[in-house]
Amino acid sequence: MHDSGSMGLAGSAFDVPSGATREAFGDGFAVPGFDAVARLAAHSLHVPLVSLVLSTGSAFWFSADAHRPDSPHALHPRYLEATRQGQTQVVPDTEADTRFGGAPLLTDIGPTRMRFFASEPVYTLSGQHVGALCVMDYSPRDGLNESECADLRDAARLAGTGLVLGSYVGRIDPVTQLPHRNAFFEDLRARQRGGEHQAWLIAVDVAPVSRFSAFIRAMGHAYADELMRDVAARVQVWMPEHTHLYQVGTSRFAAILPGSADGIDAAWMDELVHRLRQPFDCLGIPLCVQPGVGLLSLDIDQLEGGDPLRLVMSASHAAQESVRGWATYEPSDDERHRQEFFLVTELAAALNERAELDLHYQPRVDLASGRCIAVEALARWQHPTQGAIPPGRFIELAEQAGLMRSLTEWVLDHGVAQLGLWQRAGLDLKLSINVSSSDLGTELIDRLREAAGRHAVALEALELEVTEGTLLEHSDTTREILAAIRALGVGIAIDDFGTGYSNLTSLREMPATSLKIDQSFVRGMEASPHDGAIVRSMTELARELGFRVVVEGVETASIFASVQGMACDEVQGYHLARPMPAAELPDWLARHDVARFRRPAG
């Protein structure tokens, strides 16, 4: 039975042969084993009638005799309220109980009334209360003894298990009681068979996957389940009457909307996003989500062989990052997502099987001596068919796909191996390696020790670069891990300083040895006196706090001349050298003009 976008149990009654059960759920769904559970309950408790009643008001019925009405009826509100209490109910005589006041079990039941009523709450495997298993008799009784209460509890547990199993193999999501993805596609095909040619699909992403996972980690599954039910309720209020809402993913809903080829009203879509951006009060705790609503105009005649749900999900994903919060499917966005997925799988293969990754090294020059004293290891990826993949692109994808630790481990192993070769060839250099927030676990300490030992490199010759934003994300935990790394002798550099708005207290407490001024300020020095003033102030502050100061992004002679007059120790940038393959570095060092890059005396 469908109403306002939801699907529930068919509220049918005793229009079946004696001893049989009505097990219709929506369009043919069944609760596996309910017939057997009901027979056992009826036999052990000696009752003629057993019902599984959901909190929605829908019900399954089992009659053990022929004394029943001839047509279906709805459960009386007073009995329905009793099933929603979440506790055992035993009513010896409903006519003597003020809660029931002699009300019939079913509306418009005629002369037949139930005098005895008992119910036991039914829960899903996750502990969600979804209804009650009820037993009834036409005559009043003294109640249930201890053994009978135990039998009713066991029957309710079996009914809950069957309900969940039926949900998974049928059409209904056990948390929201909404039809799921299989039902979505079945209904689309039914429209096709019915002769419809065009439809608008909508997908609602409640929050980005990482954020929804954070909800679960912080508050638990019960909180996330309640959130999904609340979101579904808001969407259903917004949807047109007789439109069904489907749960098609852990944190995603979909619907088939009425509409024409002319499109969907933009103000109507804005209203939905506005509703979803209002705070949700889940279990007494307020929460704002980051919804994304996608739209797809579907030619139903072309349904076979396609996946319209994937396409509309592409739009909802893009909408999460937009100001408006909703977006219509664009083939270009979809192609970008497919390309990103392709690159992620290719990157995983490159890390494990192929020789497509390489390291380039960019020198860092000490202004006091003019010498190159360190190099920064920078990953490069030359794909066999896609060519050179920009580092910013594949590093971001590695972060999103959980590959960052593998990439950092690859860089660490190959970089330290190369440093060992250079040092044994007589080059006195240190190696700087970038690490991300996902790398900052205790295992990083062991990886550093292992790599340095395997390649016979002193830990003091290594430096880790951690962005200012990463330091702000982790605070105490990060500080403890970095302190342990620093205790090994490894240097710690705060990278991209000036973009994370860190306060002086957290900056002072970080166990860092050097600070790298963000290159966005440095590159802007030629055009903006303000950027020059910012860089000068930051270098002086860092020097006063005891950091070794590195200015990166030195790309022209004029910027280099300005930096020489600042309170900095090292410079890095295209004016000195671009990142280069390992084989080119010895020749560059041999040609390097130390005097040219030495800060003038005085």
Look at residues 114, 136, 169 and tell me which one is the last residue of a structural domain: 169
Q: Which run of H or of E encompasses 570? A: strand 570-572
Which pLDDT score, from 0 to 100, does residue 9 have?
29
Q: Report residue 13's pLDDT band, with 50, 70 and 90 as the boundaries.
A: very low
Which pLDDT score, from 0 to 100, does residue 203 have?
93
Mean pLDDT of 122-151: 87
| DSSP string for 38-78 | HHHHHHHHT-SEEEEEETTS-EEEEESSS-S-SS--PBPHH
* Helices and strands in the chain: count of H runs, count of E runs: 19, 25
Assess whether pLDDT exceeds 60 at residue 17: no
Query: Could you list the residue range(s) of the whole structural domain that residue 298 is in?
Result: 181-329
Assess whether pLDDT exceeds 50 at residue 193: yes
Which tops the pLDDT comparison, 585 or 401?
Answer: 585
Measure the CA–CA gap between 143 and 478, rounded to whole angstroms: 62
Which pLDDT score, from 0 to 100, does residue 498 have?
66
Residue 174 lies in a domain: no
Q: Are both 60 and 188 inside the same structural domain?
A: no
Mean pLDDT of 476-495: 89
Q: What angle (nearest 5°) sits at the alpha carbon of residue 190, between those of residues 188 and 191?
A: 65
When mean pLDDT is compared across 410-414, 454-458, 464-468, the lowest value belongs to 464-468
Tokens linked to 597:
């890059």
Assess whether pLDDT exceeds 60 at residue 1: no
Q: Are both 397 and 270 inside the same structural domain?
A: no
Look at residues 115, 142, 169 and tell me which one is the last residue of a structural domain: 169
Residue 342 lies in a domain: no
**pTM over cut 0.75:** no
Model pLDDT for residues 420-442, shown as the tens digit of each residue = 999 999 999 999 999 988 888 88
Which tops the pLDDT comparison, 514 or 26?
Answer: 514
Residues 244, 247, 248, 249: what is their CA dihedral angle, to the nearest 10 degrees? Answer: 160
Q: Are both 528 and 575 inside the same structural domain?
A: yes
Assess whether pLDDT exceeds 60 at residue 169: no
Residue 86 lies in a domain: yes
Q: What share of the chain has pLDDT > 70, as a percent? A: 85
Residue 334 lies in a domain: no
Model pLDDT for residues 247-273, shown as the tens digit of each residue = 988 889 999 887 665 678 889 999 999
Model pLDDT for residues 55-71, shown as the tens digit of each residue = 767 777 787 664 443 33
Across the chain, mean pLDDT equals: 82
Q: What is the CATH number of the domain that holds 129?
A: 3.30.450.40
Assess whether pLDDT exceeds 70 at residue 473: no
Q: Are both 192 and 125 inside the same structural domain?
A: no
Look at residues 136, 169, 202 and tell me which one is the last residue of a structural domain: 169
Q: Are both 130 and 206 inside the same structural domain?
A: no
Measure the CA–CA gap between 25 and 178, rounded to whole angstroms: 12
Assess whether pLDDT exceeds 50 at residue 16: no
Measure the CA–CA gap between 439 and 303, rounded to whole angstroms: 44
Exposed, middle or buried by CB within 10 Å (0-12, 13-18, 19+), for 217? exposed
Count CA atoms within 13 Å of residue 388 on its CB side: 7
When mean pLDDT is compared across 92-101, 231-240, 551-560, the lowest value belongs to 92-101
Q: Are both 417 and 565 inside the same structural domain?
A: yes
Residue 340 lies in a domain: no
Model pLDDT for residues 522-537, shown as the tens digit of each residue = 888 888 888 889 889 9
Which pLDDT score, from 0 to 100, does residue 72 have?
42
Mean pLDDT of 294-310: 78
Q: Are both 516 and 544 inside the same structural domain?
A: yes
Which pLDDT score, from 0 to 100, does residue 505 have?
62
Mean pLDDT of 497-509: 63
Residue 336 lies in a domain: no
The structural domain count of the chain equals 3
Which tops the pLDDT comparison, 491 or 257?
Answer: 491
Assess whether pLDDT exceeds 60 at residue 82: yes
The residue type of 224 is A
When computed from its CA atoms, the radius of gyration of the chain, rounded to whole angstroms, is: 34
Which tops the pLDDT comparison, 373 or 282?
Answer: 373
Measure the CA–CA gap between 36 and 31, rounded to whole angstroms: 11
Q: What is the CATH number of the domain that holds 375?
A: 3.20.20.450
Residue 339 lies in a domain: no
Measure the CA–CA gap between 432 and 464, rounded to whole angstroms: 6
Q: What is the CATH number of the domain that holds 304?
A: 3.30.70.270
Q: Are both 281 and 197 inside the same structural domain?
A: yes
Q: Are both 412 and 556 inside the same structural domain?
A: yes
Q: Are both 136 and 198 inside the same structural domain?
A: no
Measure the CA–CA gap between 580 and 582, rounded to whole angstroms: 6
245-249/252-257 β-pairing: antiparallel
Q: Are both 453 and 576 inside the same structural domain?
A: yes
Q: Are both 323 and 419 inside the same structural domain?
A: no
Q: Which residues, 6+ apart, have CB-to-CB distance to 146 below 8 Å?
A: none
171, 26 Cβ separation under 8 angstroms = yes
Q: What share of the chain has pLDDT > 90, as a percent? A: 36
Residue 104 lies in a domain: yes
